[in-house]
């Protein structure tokens, strides 16, 4: 975890691989069928709608699991919106 603050190039975490999981929605033979239906929706439709949850799960997990690695740490106090604006505070 203890990456130096200024590393070069690419930063890698195995958790990032989760981002590839939603690509299952490109494998049409898995879900190109009518049954079983859910609430009257054929499988083709509700499976892909359920894919939205899968995508969210992937991005949320990666966000939470890679959050503890700071990028370049902030120096000084956390600036608020106004101090970032227009460089007035600088």
Q: Residue 10 interacts with other proteins (CB under 8 A)?
A: yes
Q: Is 58 helix (H, G, I), strand (E, B) or coil?
A: helix
Closest separation in Å from C-beta 32 to other proteins: 5
Q: Residue 79 interacts with other proteins (CB under 8 A)?
A: yes
User: Rounded to whole angstroms, what are the CA distances from 36 to 29, 31, 33, 43, 54?
Assistant: 15, 10, 8, 6, 19
**Residues 41-70 contacting other proteins, CB under 8 A:** 41-42, 44-45, 48-49, 51-52, 54-56, 58-60, 62-63
**For residue 61, which of 8, 2, 13, 7 has the smallest C-alpha distance?**
13
For the chain, what is the radius of gyration of the CA atoms?
A: 21
Q: Which residues of this chain interact with other proteins, rule CB under 8 A? A: 6-11, 16, 18-23, 25-29, 32-34, 37, 39-42, 44-45, 48-49, 51-52, 54-56, 58-60, 62-63, 71-72, 74-76, 78-79, 81, 84-88, 90
């Amino acid at each position: 975890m203890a990456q130096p603050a200024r590393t070069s190039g690419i930063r890698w975490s195995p958790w990032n691989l989760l981002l590839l999981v939603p690509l299952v929605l490109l494998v049409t033979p898995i879900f190109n069928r009518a049954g079983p239906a859910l609430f009257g929706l054929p499988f083709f439709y509700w499976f892909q709608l359920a894919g939205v949850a899968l995508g969210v799960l992937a991005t949320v997990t990666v966000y939470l699991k890679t959050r503890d690695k700071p990028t370049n740490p902030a120096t000084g106090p956390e600036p608020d919106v106004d101090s970032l604006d227009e460089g007035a505070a600088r």
